[in-house]
Amino acid sequence: GQNIDQPTEMTATEGAIVQINCTYQTSGFNGLFWYQQHAGEAPTFLSYNVLDGLEEKGRFSSFLSRSKGYSYLLLKELQMKDSASYLCAVWDNYGQNFVFGPGTRLSVLP
Amino acid sequence: DSGVTQTPKHLITATGQRVTLRCSPRSGDLSVYWYQQSLDQGLQFLIQYYNGEERAKGNILERFSAQQFPDLHSELNLSSLELGDSALYFCASSIPRDNEQFFGPGTRLTVL
């Protein structure tokens, strides 16, 4: 089966660093994605990891450990505009299916 | 603006009816993906087309069907609509061998 877990909500302060974790179980892993979605808007792509390690992209970094079925998204120098939902998704090659986690709603406070 | 367009923006219909949602991908993108997002189920992958051919099938109901035309635009057909089909339907597109998907603004479907 397929299962993805993320914390439901997180709160952080402007200028701080926050780490959003994602754990997954899938039969045919072929890549993990992170998307940002502001309320009422479409998701926007943040990152893609298929090999173990850290991918850095400006203020955002994403880490993957395939053996642990674990990923995190790291957001540095938080800004108010980073308040959004963050969706972790896995491409399951066996089922030929994208599986999304429930999303983590991040609130950035002044 | 992602470059992906979807029409209509809003759609209100009754149970038992059939509707068609339309998506135009970004210029040059060959892949089109359809997603459903409801409050209780989150974002669900429905189906992917690549250059006119079905490539991957997710949690798409039998009452739903899709196709991608030679000009690469895609349509999602929803029939025998139920109250539970009320959701935001997103279309996304990507270029070959690229994992970044660009989402359209979505079509909000309300079934009464």
Q: Give me the tens of pLDDT residue by residue for chain B, a chain 112 residues long.
A: 889 999 999 999 999 999 999 999 999 999 999 999 998 778 999 999 999 999 999 989 999 999 999 999 999 999 999 999 999 999 999 987 677 899 999 999 999 9
Q: Are A37 and A44 in contact (CB under 8 A)?
A: yes
Torsion B98-B99-B104-B107 (CA) sign: positive
Chain A, chain B: beta-carbon pairs less than 8 Å apart: 43
Q: Are B36 and B91 in contact (CB under 8 A)?
A: no
Hey, are the CB atoms on A99 and B45 less than 8 Å from each other? yes
Q: Does A100 touch chain B (CB under 8 A)?
A: yes
Give pLDDT, residue B8.
Answer: 97
Q: What does the pLDDT look like over A10-37, one tens digit per residue?
A: 999 999 999 999 999 988 888 999 999 9
Q: Does A3 touch chain B (CB under 8 A)?
A: no
Exposed, middle or buried: residue A96 (CB in 10 Å: 0-12, 13-18, 19+)? middle
Q: Does A96 touch chain B (CB under 8 A)?
A: yes
Q: How many Å apart are CA A25 and CA A5, to the nearest integer?
A: 9
